[in-house]
Amino acid sequence: MPEIIIYTTNYCPYCVKAKQLLRNKGVEFEEIDLTNDDTGRIQLVEKSGGRKTVPQIFVNGKHIGGCDDLFSLDAKKELDTLLA
Write the pLDDT tens digit of every residue in 2-31: 999 999 999 999 999 999 999 999 999 999
- Round to whole Å and give the CA distance between 60 and 42: 21
**Which pLDDT tens digit goes with each residue over 35-74?**
999 999 999 999 999 999 999 999 999 999 999 999 999 9
Separation of alpha carbons 7 and 14, rounded Å: 11
pTM strictly above 0.85: yes
Q: Domains in the chain, start-ordered, CATH in brackets?
A: 4-83 (3.40.30.10)
Distance spanning both ends of the chain, measured CA to CA: 7
